[in-house]
Structure 1
Amino acid sequence: MIVVAELAGSASYGGGERYLELLCGHLDPARFRPILICPEPGSFVGRMQRRGVDVRVVHLEPLLNPFALMRLVRVLSQENVTILQTHGARANFYGRVAGWLAGVPVVISTVHNSIADYEVSRLKRWIYSAALRATLPWATRILCVSDAVRRDVIQDDPAAAARTETVHNGVDRLSFQKPIDRTKVRRELGLTDGPLLVTVARLTPPKGHGDLIEALALLRDQWPGLQCVCVGDGELRQPLEELAAARGLSSMCRFVGSRDDVMEFYAAADVVVLPSHSEGFPFVILEALAMGKPVIATSVNGVPEVIDHLKTGLLVKARDVAGLAGAIQSLLEHPERARQLGDAGRAVVQAQFTVDRMVEKTVAVFDAALRTEGVDAPAWSRRVA
């Protein structure tokens, strides 16, 4: 049995945490015993515990904290961890050092978004980059969720090229093929029968919700029955609600917070919109396409690796409010074209971006790294005996 420790980037629920939820749920239990380590308490801890995952909380603040480092080393040593996979700049730094100190054979750093897009100060971004360059020798592999992210990693540190590879995110197709009542969300929220846009994302600056609100203001006169539901929560909720009110869109633009029934919102949507300024390889797009929904997204980072403009969805430039409004209007005016885009997108997800494919490629990275470090099957057995 191979003990795999997954060091999360946060304990809130976002794309990186969705990745961990899927990976822990689909690793072969006959080969792997996953342990999830979260850097602080949060909703993700309880969510994963309810799924039967062994979860530990090891506080990792601030970035340079020797006490936090030793706490992490202690957990890795006590659990005889064979593979440590880390997620995000802070976890990648801590994991490399702790893995080396604890004698973990394989340390895999996972990059879900470009460090250049982190919403931190220039000094903190420089510290992150310097720390990751300094600890690169202690990373067996660097796993990136998109080719765009991989290019950014190599641009930041060319020495990382030989140990860096892409494994795209994937979704569970069966979860999105169950029949769902399309009217449930509309009834719950008291929505009209007009066209409905849905966006699913944390309410943070990189997600571009303000651009979507401004685009709705441009569409209001021509589409008075248009409604938009924003699923997710974050520090910008109140400012965004105030912006919607200032544009006279309070009844058109609804904020419903974080929801566990996100598939029902996809089912209710006529169009799914992701107006982000930065993304790695977003699960939202994969999930919406898996349900056959037409998607409009910004052409940032890894998004064009799944959305082929005019074939599997529509791409617009980030921060282009007029372009976003125009794309929404084009799909509302041509519902048959919207349906065709959704169908084509679903076929691409089913063929290329499934959780089975993601896990298979991730395990292949595990196995290659174990071979590189000279860890064979008998050694795994001895290690956990």
Structure 2
Amino acid sequence: MRILHVVETLHVGGLERVVIDLVREQIVRGNHCLVVCLFEKGALVNEIEAQGIPVETCSKQGGLDIAATKRLRGFIREFQANVVHSHNVICNYYAAMALMSNTGVLLVNTRHGIGDMPIKQNWLYGLSLLRTNRAVGVCNATSNMLRRQFPVFSRKIVTVRNGIVLDAYQKRSPKSHQWLTEQLSVPGDTMLVAIVARLNMIKNHSMLFRAFRLVLESVPGARLLVIGDGELRSVLEREVRRMGLKEKIIFLGDRRDVATLLSGVDLFVLSSLKEGYSISLLEACASALPLVATNAGGNSEIVQHNNNGLLVENGDVNSLADSIIAILTSDRKRQEYGSNSRAWVEREGTVRGMCRKYEAIYQGN
């Protein structure tokens, strides 16, 4: 099968990681793949091109760019694609336009998030569903959102949950914890809490910081590791300094060794206001970590309350703090929840399982 994936860019992010892992698995399974970036290639392009996977770009400009549509149509024709798999909203209506006169190519779209779209983009996406054969939500929350917004296309909408490459992740261990505390220059018995997320409004780091200040009253030696970067970094760093927590909340920026870092922490937290199907939560599960997350979007499809972690409601700072404290102060909870996290992701969160489900869709099932 010849599969052409359309993404906005290959900058660092959960969507981009899913696409790269999916393409790798599809090639292992005997398919031919091409990745087309609608705007520009991005920071992850070297990783995928180094494996012999070609990447092209349409160099889309602002507004409706007919030239980008023509370039995409040309890539589809030259590659002789059987399937065009677009990712998120803009990519789908450009793919639909490129395929308008080509009914022999299957168009599959994956919606990776739940965030609100501008009215015009939402309208164009709805229009593009006329040409789309399958619209895929990465979790039930995303699929249900699509059905509410576009009920006329309900029969086209299915769910395929994201998956990750489990071999890339080690289970948390005392040895990894010791290594990480040494890297951070903190005492070896420090309880380490981590969040991996872009530093933007949706991830709601401010709520987590307020909760962590309360956590320190019960677990004064704890540290919060903030992994990721984004437009709010300077704002959040100032907030931490105002709270007097500069030594307790450590910004590590974008890291390529997230798997190594996670194997050394004690607890993973995600404080999102909105969320699709979080790759960082899957990574934490693969690292056998206990979880605390807000009950947003697809989080509840990964975090099973009182089984592999705890769910809290958005905005409830006290409950977030109490949940973190409950796990940090209980060896039993950390061990039990972490073990359950790993067992769950082995059953439900692998890239191989995700790939098989997409193959079934490509084949018309």
> Which range, TM-score by smaller chain?
over 0.9
2:192: which partner in 1? Answer: 196
**1:61/1:154 CA distance change after superposition, 3 Å:** farther
Of 40-49 and 137-146, more deviation after overlay is shown by 40-49
1:36: which partner in 2? Answer: 35
Query: Following superposition of structure 1 onto structure 2, how do residues 110-149 of structure 1 map, counting pairs within 5 Å?
Result: 110-116=110-116, 125-149=118-142
The CA distance in 1 between the partners of 2:284 and 2:167, in whole Å, is 13
Residues 41 and 56 of structure 2 are in contact (CA less than 8 Å); yes or no, is this contact kept in structure 1? no
2:156: which partner in 1? Answer: 163
Q: Counterpart of 1:70 in structure 2: which amino acid?
A: K
Normalising by structure 1, report the TM-score: 0.89
Q: Secondary structure at the match of 2:284?
A: helix
Q: Secondary structure at the match of 1:81?
A: coil
RMSD of Structure 2 on Structure 1 (CA)? 1.8
Query: Following superposition of structure 1 onto structure 2, how do residues 89-238 of structure 1 map, counting pairs within 5 Å?
Result: 89-101=89-101, 105-116=105-116, 125-177=118-170, 181-193=176-188, 194-238=190-234
**1:234/1:170 CA distance change after superposition, 3 Å:** same
Q: Counterpart of 2:19 in structure 1: which amino acid?
A: L
In the TM superposition, residue 113 of structure 1 has moved relative to its aligned partner by 0.8
Q: Secondary structure at the match of 1:107?
A: strand
**1:333/1:161 CA distance change after superposition, 3 Å:** same
Residues 90 and 125 of structure 2 are in contact (CA less than 8 Å); yes or no, is this contact kept in structure 1? no
1:72: which partner in 2? Answer: 72
1:45: which partner in 2? Answer: 45
The CA distance in 1 between the partners of 2:201 and 2:77, in whole Å, is 38
The CA distance in 2 between the partners of 1:345 and 1:219, in whole Å, is 23
In the TM superposition, residue 105 of structure 1 has moved relative to its aligned partner by 1.0
Of 316-325 and 172-181, more deviation after overlay is shown by 172-181
Structure 2: stretches of 5+ with no match in the other structure? none
Residues 9 and 86 of structure 1 are in contact (CA less than 8 Å); yes or no, is this contact kept in structure 2? no
Q: Counterpart of 1:80 in structure 2: which amino acid?
A: Q
Q: Secondary structure at the match of 2:193?
A: strand
The CA distance in 1 between the partners of 2:8 and 2:206, in whole Å, is 26
The CA distance in 1 between the partners of 2:25 and 2:330, in whole Å, is 39
Structure 1: stretches of 5+ with no match in the other structure? 119-124, 370-385
The CA distance in 2 between the partners of 1:272 and 1:358, in whole Å, is 24
In the TM superposition, residue 31 of structure 1 has moved relative to its aligned partner by 3.5
Of 90-99 and 60-69, more deviation after overlay is shown by 60-69
Which of 323, 329, 338 is residue 327 of structure 1 equivalent to? Answer: 323
Query: Following superposition of structure 1 onto structure 2, how do residues 234-383 of structure 1 map, counting pairs within 5 Å?
Result: 234-368=230-364
Normalising by structure 2, report the TM-score: 0.94
The CA distance in 2 between the partners of 1:41 and 1:225, in whole Å, is 42
Q: Counterpart of 1:283 in structure 2: which amino acid?
A: I
Residues 182 and 264 of structure 1 are in contact (CA less than 8 Å); yes or no, is this contact kept in structure 2? no
Residues 144 and 168 of structure 1 are in contact (CA less than 8 Å); yes or no, is this contact kept in structure 2? yes
**1:7/1:291 CA distance change after superposition, 3 Å:** same
Of 302-311 and 42-51, more deviation after overlay is shown by 42-51
